[in-house]
Amino acid sequence: MQGRQVTTTNRKARHDYTIIETFEAGIELRGTEVKSLRDSKAQLTDAYATVESGQLYLRNAHISIYDPGSYSNHEPTRTRRLLMHKAEIRKLEIRLNQSGLTMVPLSLYFLRGKVKVELAVVKGRKTFDKRDKLDERRARKEIRGIMRGERPE
């Protein structure tokens, strides 16, 4: 269990945003949240991170309720504190104050027994940018097929 064991990825973020820079942060969780993450029962689709009074918070991340848990279960979409050095948080806060930038989680994973979040400073993409990227991907796939000797469609 020494490696990086990815439990959840935010595939929509890579489609909807242009990734500028990525960071790794720890996350403050309750026991039942960790158990749900071990079962890969989390969604990061609508999640985002904010900086408030020198602290970094993850909002709208959905970690499902742990079924065997009892009265001590957690709220699925509660705000969770992210753990980074103060200097890094200050640097991020300055970066996020630029127009059009936000911070979204790309993945949740276990690293040496601890839950980590891969965060990215991102800029939103317009619809035509998304279409252009899909067209590029389609063209690359078609070229790869031709290089392998497959017939074009």
- Report the chain's C-alpha Rg in angstroms: 18
Structural domain including 66 reads 4-125
CA pair distance 82, 79, nearest whole angstrom:
10
Residue 141 lies in a domain: no
pLDDT at 45: 87
Give every CB contact of residue 39 below 8 A, 6+ residues apart in sequence. Answer: 66
pLDDT at 11 over 90: no
Residue 130 lies in a domain: no
Residue 12 lies in a domain: yes
CATH of the domain at 20: 2.40.280.10
Residue 139 lies in a domain: no
CA pair distance 108, 84, nearest whole angstrom:
15
Residue 101 lies in a domain: yes
Chain segment 24-80, per-residue pLDDT in tens? 999 988 888 888 888 888 888 888 898 988 899 999 988 888 777 777 787 788 889
Chain segment 83-122, per-residue pLDDT in tens? 999 999 998 888 888 778 889 999 999 998 888 999 999 8
pLDDT at 1 over 60: no
Picking from 4, 12, 5, the residue whose alpha carbon sits closest to that of residue 106 is 12
Query: Domain tally for the chain?
Result: 1
Query: Partners of 122 in the beta sheet?
Result: 19, 102
Residue 140 lies in a domain: no
Find out whether 27 and 61 touch, Cβ atoms under 8 Å.
Answer: no
Residue 33 lies in a domain: yes
CA pair distance 89, 91, nearest whole angstrom:
5
pLDDT at 142: 85
Residue 138 lies in a domain: no
pLDDT at 94: 87
